[in-house]
Structure 1
Amino acid sequence: MPSPLKYNKRFDKLTDEEQELLEINKKSIADFVEQSSSVSDVNYATRNAHAKTYAVAIAELVIDQHIPEMLQPFFDKERYDLTIRFSNAHPKIIRGKKDIPAYGFAVKIKDENGTLLANFPLVNFPLFPINSVGTFLKLFTSVNRFFVKKWSSFSLMMQIIKVIPSTFTGSFIKNIIKLWRKRNDFFLSFDYHSVGAYRLGDYMMKIKLKPQSVSKNFGKRLKVKDALESYLNTENFTADVLIQLCYDLKDQPVNQLNVEWKNSPFVKIGEINIDKNNLLDPYACENEMLSFNPFESKMFFQPVGKLQKLREDAYKVSMQTRLKINKLLKYDK
C-alpha cells in the first residue's frame, strides 16, 4: 500500500472572483436567517440548511483496538463523548407533508475534559452535484433569495439547470438510483458520509458511518421524527465508523465531489453507540443552538477542499445571525 498523500493548503485556495461571490452569498445567508422564523413559521431563527431537527442524542465513540499504528495518535483514547443531531437538509421546516429523504447525522466529538475535538456534519448521500465554486455560490445565493422572496422561481430554476451536467457521472447516477430505492427506508438504516474530505493530521480522509442491524422497515407507518424517537427510546444503536485515505488525486479527488473515491480501502476506526433513552429535548434552546461547524474542529480534523472552505464563513454567518436574532426573540424553547 502506498503512503497517503499529504494535505496542502492549495487544495482550499479560492480565486478572487470566487471570494467576491462568497461575500454576496454570506449576505444572502444573513438575510435568510433573519427571516427564517417567518419562512418556517417558528418562534426562533433557524439554520439556513438542515433547519429541521428530528432528534438530539448523547452517544459515545468507542475506538477499535486494532486500528493501524499510523492512525493511533489521532485516536489515543478508548472512548470519546458525542452529541448527535439528526436533521433534514431542507432549509425550511415543513410540516404535514412527507419529508424528502435528505438526512443529516451531525456528530460533535469531545474528550473526557469536554474539549471539542471535531464536528463532522454527515449526510445520507455520499456525493455532491457541483464541483464549480462559482456555480455553487450562485445557486446557494438564489435558493436563499427565493425563500425570502427576493428572486423568482425562474431565476432559481436557471441556476439549477447549470448544475445538471455535473450529475452525469456513473457514481452520481448509481447513488441517485440507490437513494430512490431506499427513499422510504428508516432514517437509521442509511449509511452516512462526509461528502467532502477532511484532514487527518498531515493526511486526508473521507468518513462513512455504517449502521449495524437496523431494519429498513422500522416505523414504516410513522413520520420520520416519530419513528426515530421511538427507535432511540427503545433500542440501542451502533454504527461502524470507517475512513478512506487519499493516496492519489486521480482515484481520490479532493475537489471533485460528484464521484466516489476508489482504490482506497475502508478502515474501521471504531463504533458509535447510542444507548436507548439518551435523547435530549430537541427544542430546548441550548440544543437548537448547537453548532456543528467543522472549522471549529482541531486543526488536524478540519475540512479540505474549495467547496468545503466555503462552509467556514457560511457557518459563521449563519450562527452569528441566529444568535443575534434568537436573543432578540428571547427564544428559550
Structure 2
Amino acid sequence: MPNPIKYNKKFDELDEEEKKLLELNKKTIADFVEQSSSISDVNYATRNAHAKTYAAAKGTFQIEPDLPESLQPFFDKDKFDLIIRFSNAQLKIKNSGKDLPAYGFAVQIKDENGGLLANYPLVNFPLFPVNSVSTFLKLFTAVNKFYIKKWSSLFPLLIQVIKMIPSLLTGDMIRHMIRLFGKRNDFILSFDYYSIGAYRLGDQIIKIKIMPQSVDKNIGRKQKTGDALKNYLQAHDFAADVLIQVCYNLKDQPINKLNVEWKNSPFIKIGEIKIKKGSLLDARECTNELLSFNPFESKIFFQPVGKIQKLRDDAYKISVQTRRKINKLLHGKNS
C-alpha cells in the first residue's frame, strides 16, 4: 500500500464568510436548546440533533490481536470500556407514530482510569448530503429557526433545501438512499454505522465503520424502536466488528467531499464492540442526559478532520453548554 496522507490543519480551516455564518448558527442553536423542552414536550432540554435517546449502555472495545504494526501504538491495551448511546437524528422528540430510520450509535471510549480517550458519534448512513460549509450553515440555521418560529420561517428553509439538492445527486448518495428506504423497517442494531467524516489516528486520517454480527433485521417489527432495542439488550449479548479505512490520496479518499464513498482503501478490522446483556443504563437519568459525545473532546490524535467536521466543534459546545445549564437548574428544582 502507498504511504498514508498525513494530517494537516489546512483540512479544517474555515474562511471569513464561513466563520461569520457559524456565529449566526451558534445563536440559533442556543435558542433552539433553550426552547427544546417545549418543542419536544419533555421536562428537560434536549440536544440540537439526535435529541431522542432510545437507550444507553455500557460496553467494551476489544482490540484485534493481530493489529497492523502501524496501528499498535494507539491501542496499548487489549480492552477499553465504552459508554454507548443509541438515538434518532431528528431534532424534535416525538413519541407517537413511527420514527424515521435515521439512527445514531455514539461511542465514548474510556482509558484505564475512567478518563475520556475519544468520542465517536456514528450514524447509519455513510454519506453527508452537503459539501459546502456555507450551504450547510445556512440550512442548519434555517432548520433551527423553523422549529422556533414555525411557519414564518418556512420559505427561507425551502430555499436552503432546494440549494442542497444538487449534492444529493451523486451515484453513491442515490444508491445509499435507495438502500436505506429498503431497510426502513429493519431493527436498529442490524444496521451498519459510519463516522461519515474523517478522523485522525495520530498523523493518519481514517474513516470508521461498525458492522453488527448476526443480528436479525426482523426483530421488533411490531414494537417501537426504543422498546425493541431495550428488550433485545436486556436479553441478548451484542457484538459488532470495528473497521477503518485509511486515506492514501485525496482523489480516491477526499476529506472535504462527504457525498461520495472512499475508494481503493481496504477496510481493516481493528477490534470488536461488545455489549453484555443487561448492561443498559437509565437513558432518562439526568446524568446520562448530560453526557456529551463531542468528538472534539477526544485526545488530540483521535479528533475529527475536515471543514464540515470543524463546524461540529462549536455546535457541540454551545449545545451542551446550554443544555447542561438548563438541565442542572431543572435537576436542582426536582431534587
Indicate the residue corresponding to 1:271 in structure 2. 272
Cα shift readout 1:263-288 (whole Å, capped 9, x = no counterpart): 00000000000000000101100111
| Counterpart residue identity of residue 173, structure 2 | F
Indicate the residue corresponding to 2:67 in structure 1. 67
CA RMSD of aligned residues (A): 1.0
C-alpha deviation, 1:315, in angstroms:
0.4
Indicate the residue corresponding to 2:238 in structure 1. 237
1: CA distance, partners of 2:18 / 2:38:
30
Using the size of structure 2 for normalisation, the TM-score is 0.98
C-alpha deviation, 1:326, in angstroms:
1.4
2: CA distance, partners of 1:243 / 1:45:
34
| Counterpart residue identity of residue 245, structure 2 | Q
| Counterpart residue identity of residue 119, structure 2 | N
C-alpha deviation, 1:302, in angstroms:
0.2
| Counterpart residue identity of residue 32, structure 1 | F
Contact 2:102-2:124 within 8 A present in 1 as well: yes
C-alpha deviation, 1:220, in angstroms:
1.1
Question: What SS does the aligned partner of 1:152 have?
Answer: helix
C-alpha deviation, 1:325, in angstroms:
1.2
Indicate the residue corresponding to 1:317 in structure 2. 318
| Counterpart residue identity of residue 77, structure 1 | K
C-alpha deviation, 1:329, in angstroms:
2.1
Question: What SS does the aligned partner of 1:60 have?
Answer: strand
Aligned length: 333
C-alpha deviation, 1:95, in angstroms:
1.4
Gaps of 5+ in 1: none
Contact 2:286-2:327 within 8 A present in 1 as well: no
Indicate the residue corresponding to 1:42 in structure 2. 42
C-alpha deviation, 1:212, in angstroms:
0.2
Cα shift readout 1:234-285 (whole Å, capped 9, x = no counterpart): 0100000000000000000000000000100000000000000000101100
1: CA distance, partners of 2:119 / 2:81:
12
C-alpha deviation, 1:75, in angstroms:
1.0
C-alpha deviation, 1:55, in angstroms:
0.1
Indicate the residue corresponding to 1:128 in structure 2. 128
| Counterpart residue identity of residue 131, structure 1 | N
1: CA distance, partners of 2:310 / 2:323:
21
Question: What SS does the aligned partner of 1:307 have?
Answer: helix
C-alpha deviation, 1:193, in angstroms:
0.1
2: CA distance, partners of 1:196 / 1:245:
12
Matched, 1:92 2:92: yes
Cα shift readout 1:97-132 (whole Å, capped 9, x = no counterpart): 100000000000001111110000000000000000
Cα shift readout 1:46-74 (whole Å, capped 9, x = no counterpart): 00100000000000000000110000001
| Counterpart residue identity of residue 133, structure 1 | V
2: CA distance, partners of 1:154 / 1:50:
24
Indicate the residue corresponding to 2:193 in structure 1. 192
| Counterpart residue identity of residue 218, structure 2 | N
2: CA distance, partners of 1:95 / 1:285:
19
| Counterpart residue identity of residue 68, structure 1 | P
2: CA distance, partners of 1:157 / 1:62:
45
C-alpha deviation, 1:152, in angstroms:
2.1
2: CA distance, partners of 1:103 / 1:309:
22
* Aligned structure 1 segments of 4 or more residues deviating by more than 4 angstroms: none
| Counterpart residue identity of residue 103, structure 1 | Y
2: CA distance, partners of 1:104 / 1:78:
26
2: CA distance, partners of 1:152 / 1:312:
26
Indicate the residue corresponding to 2:55 in structure 1. 55
C-alpha deviation, 1:328, in angstroms:
2.5
C-alpha deviation, 1:327, in angstroms:
2.3
1: CA distance, partners of 2:9 / 2:61:
29
| Counterpart residue identity of residue 30, structure 1 | A
Matched, 1:119 2:119: yes
Q: Within 5 Å, give how 1:1-333 maps onto structure 2.
A: 1-149=1-149, 151-330=152-331
Question: What SS does the aligned partner of 1:148 have?
Answer: helix
Gaps of 5+ in 2: none
Using the size of structure 1 for normalisation, the TM-score is 0.99
1: CA distance, partners of 2:326 / 2:291:
15
Cα shift readout 1:65-98 (whole Å, capped 9, x = no counterpart): 0110000001121000000000000000011110
